Amino acid sequence: MVLRGKTAIPSPAYLTLDWQFFRYPCRIAVSLLILRSVDESFYHLIIGAEMVDFSEPQRRVVPWSQKHLLGLEDLTPEEITTILDTAEDFLKVLRQPGRKVDLLRGKTCVNLFFENSTRTRTSFGLAAKRVGADVIEFAASTSSLNKGETIIDTAKNIEAMQIDAVIVRHGCPGTPRLLAKNLSCSIINAGDGPHEHPTQGLLDILTIRRKFGSLKGLTVALVGDIAHSRTARSNIWGLKKLGANVIVCGPSTLVSPYWKEFGAEYSYSLDAILNRVDVLNLLRIQFERQVVRPFPSIAEYAHLYGMNSVRMRKTKENVLILAPGPINRGVEITPDVADGEHSAILDQVTNGVAVRMAVLSLLLGKNPPVV
């Protein structure tokens, strides 16, 4: 009778329990419903229990035949769309309390990075764990490569430890393809010199698709160091395949008219294209890959190609600002634009985990669960 006199009834209270059961997350929802009877003389306590997901989750069956992900140049529009749709499923998984599925239990991936990385390495490691795989981190600087071992021998030795996927970043273009020819496990390109960075291209495209619904007919400008940017190349292949118009923009020392042959427009003036673009992807100047400085000073570059609040006023009202990171505040983008309402820079990072979960699950042969 402790509730006598209270008026806020019926009032449901939900007790939800989550745990791993037979490899899949289970949920038992216990609903407590306390009802006061009509004559107000006593109370009813109703307990309803609901069990969900005790069996294997239903899988969305998607056609997939690729063993490696070496570049977006190699994929069909349908394959790119399959990865994006699968990543959408995983974004839902990431929003659920458990944040993981157990699809790749028993599979092992190795992060084989020979170049610096913050986002991509962490994102792949996290994505592998979120789909239930084990991850090994390879430290290139303390490896036997320093004793003269070739990269193929190093990779073969790692593979001999029963590895299912090698995620490789290397300064030399073509390294992932070389490993794909010499190893029997799946190879994922996490950036090969200035050549391709397919998962960055995919996460950029997913971020655009999530805002606009479709890529068809959109105009996307890639601004900056096109000559040395693997992000630019993967974006160009992926965006063109999904029907977007691409403009490459930057100083003439970093933007070649030859991009016309690949269906991209080029411009040496950012101000001239601002009012036409739906998306601006602001690429970092890749100082580490340049033999000579391609412009007189960083200040001049920022003056001509840096995205700032004055330039923002000349863009379309709903323009989307992207940057693969790391960003150099005050060079390709000012802090107010990087942190402003049009910026989706941190959404790109979130979407990157889902894209990499999708890539790993598709390549390693497991379709994602329906969520």
Write out the residues near ligand NCD by the rule CB under 6 A. 119-120, 191, 197, 200, 230-231, 284, 324-325
By beta-carbon proximity to ligand NCD, the closer residue of 101 and 203 is: 203
By beta-carbon proximity to ligand NCD, the closer residue of 120 and 361 is: 120
Which residue in this structure is represented by tokens 């084990």? 134
By beta-carbon proximity to ligand NCD, the closer residue of 25 and 191 is: 191
Report d(CA 224, CA 270) in Å as an integer: 10
Which residue in this structure is represented by tokens 């979960």? 357
Q: Among positive and negative, which fits the CA dihedral 190, 194, 200, 206?
A: negative
Tokens for 87, please give them: 């990543």
By beta-carbon proximity to ligand NCD, the closer residue of 156 and 289 is: 289
User: Nearest distance from residue 118's CB to ligand NCD, in Å?
Assistant: 7
Q: Report yes or no: 248 and 232 within 8 Å, Cβ to Cβ.
A: yes
Tokens for 92, please give them: 């839902």
| Cβ-based neighbour number of residue 223 at 10 Å | 25
User: Nearest distance from residue 296's CB to ligand NCD, in Å?
Assistant: 21
User: Nearest distance from residue 115's CB to ligand NCD, in Å?
Assistant: 7
> Residue 90 in 3-state DSSP?
helix
User: Which H, E and C letters describe 308-322, residue by residue?
Assistant: CHHHHCCCCCCCEEE
Active-site positions read 119-120, 147, 169, 197
By beta-carbon proximity to ligand NCD, the closer residue of 62 and 327 is: 327
| Cβ-based neighbour number of residue 1 at 10 Å | 7
User: Nearest distance from residue 119's CB to ligand NCD, in Å?
Assistant: 4
By beta-carbon proximity to ligand NCD, the closer residue of 62 and 353 is: 353
User: Nearest distance from residue 187's CB to ligand NCD, in Å?
Assistant: 17
User: Nearest distance from residue 120's CB to ligand NCD, in Å?
Assistant: 4
Degrees to nearest 5, angle at CA 142 with 136 and 143: 70
By beta-carbon proximity to ligand NCD, the closer residue of 16 and 118 is: 118
Q: Phi and psi (nearest 5°) for 104? A: -110, 35
25-34: list long-range contacts, CB under 8 Å, 24+ apart. Answer: 25/53, 25/96, 25/98, 25/100, 25/101, 25/102, 26/51, 26/52, 26/53, 26/54, 27/51, 27/52, 27/53, 28/52, 34/3, 34/9, 34/10
User: Nearest distance from residue 316's CB to ligand NCD, in Å?
Assistant: 25
**Chain residue whose CB lies nearest ligand NCD:** 284
Q: Could you check whether the bond before residue 173 is cis, i.e. omega within 30 degrees of 0? A: no
Nearest residue to 197 (alpha-carbon basis) of 220, 171, 223: 171
C-alpha distances in Å from residue 122, one per residue of 118, 125, 220, 260: 6, 5, 27, 35
Report d(CA 306, CA 308) in Å as an integer: 6
